Amino acid sequence: MSETAAEETKTPSLRLDGLVAVVTGAGRGLGRGIAIALADAGAELVLVSRTQSELDEVAERIREAGGTARTIVCDVTDAAKVTELIEGIERIDILMNNAGANIPEPFVDVTEEHLDTLLNLNVKSMFLVAQAAARRMLAGGRGGSIIHMSSQMGHVGSPNRTNYCTTKHAVEGMSKAIAAELAPHNIRSNCIGPTFVETEFTRPMFENPEFKQFVMDRILMGRLGKISDVTGAVVFLASPAAELITGASLTIDGGWTVV
């Protein structure tokens, strides 16, 4: 077999050795799991959230496994702090743009305060973090991978989630525009769109039998998501195995958005 043929059949690597990954909202839930998974794949982690104690726990878990992690406390809705944060990081190869929130309530009851809260956290902060990280990637000249935490709700509508759906549809459009603009610089921008993932924070939601039935009727594969369902997708999109994927949205929804 020729050298060219061997290269064509070689399985791309999912390793992230030598790369620096920034994860926002890294202290708990999906952000915590994603940070640990990226570290396990070899990346050096920069963990960002508002709570030092939670960041310290994640960093210790990564270090105990032989990885490298540092922590930065930052409110990502503060534009000045975001700029200061990113400019203080010498190198960024991967951004997991994860920080976000939800306030489920009927459309007619959404207050301007709640609308502003989700727009600021789920859209504006993600825009600012991605923008600052892209500047660092451009300055480094090595390209990079920006991954945005979207949702299956960035593709469909759902009762009591007009506010959340608005923000996640916006994130999907933002990601595509970033991908189109930065592709010549080898900077990729993609979304992941999980369904409901079972965590300590979502379990109380499923104590309501009507809500649980509503969800399970729509997840065609018959189960809630697991953190590992999401972390595998993130490692893939961050890795050389996905080096030609940009402007995409990878739904991890068990079939919710199929029908």
Amino acid code (one letter) for 150:
S
What are the counts of helices (DSSP H) followed by strands (DSSP E) for the chain? 9, 7
Please identify which of the residues 10, 81, 124, 164 carries the catalytic annotation.
164
Q: In this predicted structure, what is the pLDDT of residue 4?
A: 61
Does some domain include residue 258?
no
Domain at 63, CATH number: 3.40.50.720
Does some domain include residue 51?
yes
Please identify which of the residues 10, 81, 124, 168 carries the catalytic annotation.
168
Does some domain include residue 61?
yes
Residue 210 sits in which domain range?
A: 10-251
What stretch of H or E contains 233?
Answer: helix 227-238
Q: Is 164 designated active site?
A: yes
* Predicted model pTM: 0.95
Per-residue pLDDT band at 192 (split at 50, 70, 90):
very high
Does some domain include residue 81?
yes
**CA-CA distance, 132 to 155, in Å (whole number)?**
26
Q: Domain tally for the chain?
A: 1
Does some domain include residue 170?
yes
Q: What angle (nearest 5°) sits at the alpha carbon of residue 84, between those of residues 83 and 86?
A: 65
| Span 232-257, pLDDT tens digits | 999 999 999 999 999 999 999 999 99
The CA distances from residue 121 to 49, 91, 190, 253, in Å, are 12, 24, 19, 23
Partners of residue 45 on adjacent β-strands: 21, 69
Q: Is 168 designated active site?
A: yes
| Span 36-47, pLDDT tens digits | 999 999 999 999
Per-residue pLDDT band at 9 (split at 50, 70, 90):
confident
Helix, strand, coil percentages in the chain from 3-state DSSP, rounded to 5:
50, 15, 35
Q: In this predicted structure, what is the pLDDT of residue 134?
A: 97
Does some domain include residue 245?
yes
Query: Does residue 67 contact residue 16 with C-beta atoms inside 8 Å?
Result: no
**CA-CA distance, 34 to 98, in Å (whole number)?**
9
Does some domain include residue 256?
no
